[in-house]
Structure 1
């Protein structure tokens, strides 16, 4: 339940997740190259790794990484010290700017699931009243528990659909 509440905190949760991903990827790439800054080629590999982690860790559809041309254009706006390379601070800002729309889509999908699912649950509970046998059992379940069960089932269904794609 704590993870769900963390995810509802919105921007802070997203920033925390992006920071975890960026730190891990930056450390991995800089350790392989032995340098503290990333060149364009290393940066593009880092972008691919970040999008791979986003697609693994965050709920929602698969997001494709941006093309090389977009990454090249963004380097110019995020390279604050104008050395042609991206350091850790610039990398975090670069990834935040690059993934803003992706993370908004993830958040909207999560909120939609958590708002629509309980509404659908209550509608289906009402619809089962006339079903012999099942209707009486469903009506005995408290609304809060029934809505939680249907929401959980919907989230698990979405997750299984994402994994099969």
Structure 2
């Protein structure tokens, strides 16, 4: 019986371990991008131009879809240096495995930043909103109006305001 429970616990940890899941998702994305670029170029290895266009596309989509500041893509010099670092066979081109390692390295810092912004926008902001709502109870005039707003609507409005302020601050800098 203990072996069955141990196996179930191991599978649960394996499935819901954030790092492994994130690595798996990054691999799926890099494989999908590699396959699309390979079909477009007709080659089994990607050139610098192929890789840089892919990076610009990915960062453009991230900036459109993710809350928080604008994420600038890396410079051409940075991409070239990373390509040389991950080009194991030194042919100036990236195969599937080299490209996957390249994307993993490139996205590590960005994913951390995105995760932190999501935590602020989706967890901390609503909690602070509910605390401030309670703090306004004693304020004449304002307190009664704020108390009439349902908690879910108030928390959502504050979270949206935080995301808006994050985007505004990022655009200003």
Give the equivalent residue in structure 1 for 2:111. 103
Residue 25 of structure 1 contacts residue 50 of structure 1 at CA under 8 Å; is this kept in 2? no
Aligned match of 1:152: 156
Q: Counterparts of 2:54 and 2:142 in 1: how far apart (Å)?
A: 56
Choose 113-122 or 85-94, whichever is displaced more.
113-122
Counterpart of 1:4 in structure 2 is: none
| 2:4 equivalent in structure 1 | none
Distance 1:63 1:140, change over 3 A: closer
In structure 2, relative to structure 1, the CA distance for the partners of 1:54 and 1:14 (3 Å cut) is farther
The alignment covers a number of residue pairs equal to 151
Query: Which ranges in structure 1 are unaligned for 5 or more consecutive residues?
Result: 1-8
| 1:2-41 Cα distance to aligned partner (Å, 9 max, x none) | xxxxxxx754564455345433322222111011210111
Q: Is the CA contact 1:14–1:103 (under 8 Å) kept in the aligned structure 2?
A: no
1:121 matches 2:130: yes
Name 1:6's counterpart in structure 2: none
Asked whether the 8 Å contact 1:39–1:85 carries over to 2, the reply is yes
Cα distance in 1 for residues equivalent to 2:80 and 2:96: 17
Cα-Cα RMSD: 3.1
Indicate how the Cα distance of structure 1 residues 20 and 134 shifts in structure 2: closer, same or farther if over 3 A, else same: farther
Unaligned runs of 5+ in 2: 1-16
With structure 1 as the length reference, what TM-score do the two structures score? Answer: 0.72
Shift in CA distance, 55/16, structure 1 to aligned 2, threshold 3 Å: farther
Larger Rg: 2
Deviates more, 1:37-46 or 1:150-159: 150-159
Greater displacement, 124-133 / 81-90:
124-133
**How far apart are 1:82 and its partner, in Å?**
2.7
Contact 1:21 1:53 in 2 (8 A): no
User: Shift in Å at residue 108 of structure 1?
Assistant: 1.1
